[in-house]
Amino acid sequence: MDLLHTTEVKALVELQRMDTALDVLAGRVAEVPVKIAALDAAFEDKKKSMSAAREALLALQLKKKNQELEIAEAEEGIRKHQRDLNAVKENNAFKALLSEIETCKNKKDALETEVLNSLEAIDLAAAEDARLKAEVRRIETEKNSEVALLEAEKKELEARVAAAAEQRAAAAAAIAPELMEKYEHLRSRRAGLAVAEAHEDAKTGKFSCGGCHMGLTPQKIVDIKKHDAFAVCPDCRRLLYLKRTVFG
Ligand SMILES: [Zn+2]
């Protein structure tokens, strides 16, 4: 079939325009949950890095606590050995105790240096923890307002879809059922586009199908200039029309 005769060319072109607009709107509605999920995922990632920083800080604080306990143990050792010194009479035992005390003192000094290092690390970790906490709060506020905007946009889009679908149904009801059947069949097989406008290249004067972009033969060019008929694209089988023939 090279030509589809019908007096409803204009009505079908108009219906295709409505359907294309509806598809775009429905696509935008479908995008909203995807966008919201992406915002939620980014926020969850940020929260994870925040809890990692918090755990690092807690680990450093625990390390420092253990170092302080070890210092207390070393001090206790020093005191004990000093008490023992008074009871010792024998020279070798006395020397051994002094040496023990020296060892404990050295250990204590080393631990005190470690505690200072820990304090420095804790300061840095606490600053990072505070920075991430503030960032998470900021991102959460931003995310919540973006989500609220997206949800409002979705509601508005859904209302537009409903109104457009109603108009579309009325327009479709006015078209002959066998033409509608052909149209729906083509639309389902051609990515939603059953009726395509033929494009004319102003420079070369060549015509092409607005659906599959293949060039049209001289016979097809004659066909698209006929009134009350659609030409059929030989490549994609879409119903072709020329704007100036239909609306000119
Ligand atoms: Zn085509």
Spell 145-184 as b/e; 16+ CB within 10 A means b.
eebeebeeebeebeeebeebeeebeebbeebeeebbebbe
Per-residue pLDDT for 248 more than 90? no
Q: Tens of pLDDT along 94-106?
A: 999 999 999 999 9
How close is the Cα of 227 to the center of ligand 1, in Å? 19
Residue 140 in any domain: the answer is yes
Average pLDDT for residues 48-73, to the nearest whole number? 96
Cα of 176 from ligand 1 centre, angstroms: 24
* Span 17-34, average pLDDT: 97
pLDDT of amino acid 224: 95
Tokens 């006395």 belong to: 94
Residues 203 and 114 occupy one common structural domain: no
Pair 180, 195: CB distance under 8 Å = no
DSSP letters along 145-179, please?
A: HHHHHHHHHHHHHHHHHHHHHHHHHHHHHTS-HHH
Do 107 and 225 sit in the same domain of this protein?
A: no
Q: How far apart are CA 141 and CA 128, in angstroms?
A: 20
pLDDT for 140 beyond 90? yes
Report pTM: 0.76
Domain that holds residue 216: 176-247
Report the separation in Å between the CA atom of 28 and the middle of ligand 1, taken as the mean of its atom positions.
Answer: 26
- Counting the structural domains of the chain, the total is 2
Over the chain, what is the mean pLDDT? Answer: 96
Give the domain-ending residue among 120, 144, 173: 173
Average pLDDT over residues 114-136: 96
Say how many Å lie between the CA of residue 37 and the centre of ligand 1.
37
Interval between CA 237 and ligand 1 midpoint (Å)? 6
Of the pLDDT bands very low, low, confident and very high (cuts 50, 70, 90), residue 2 is confident
**pLDDT confidence of residue 124:** 97
Q: How confident is the model at residue 1 (pLDDT cuts 50, 70, 90)?
A: low
Cα of 103 vs centre of ligand 1, distance in Å, is 92
Q: How far is the CA of 4 from the centre of ligand 1 (A)?
A: 15
In eight-state DSSP terms, residue 7 is S
**What is the distance in A from the centroid of ligand 1 to the CA of 208?**
8
188 and 104 share one domain: no
Residue 1 resides in a domain: no
Question: Does residue 15 fall inside a structural domain?
Answer: no
Bridge-partner residues for 3, per DSSP? 231
Asked if residue 90 is part of any domain, the answer here is yes
Q: Are residue 100 and residue 218 in the same domain, yes or no?
A: no
Residue 174 phi/psi, 5° resolution? -85, -10
User: How would residue 52 be classed by pLDDT, with cut points 50, 70 and 90?
Assistant: very high
Q: Which of 120, 147, 173 lies at the terminal end of a domain, its last residue?
A: 173
- Say how many Å lie between the CA of residue 11 and the centre of ligand 1: 20
* 160 and 53, same domain (yes or no): yes
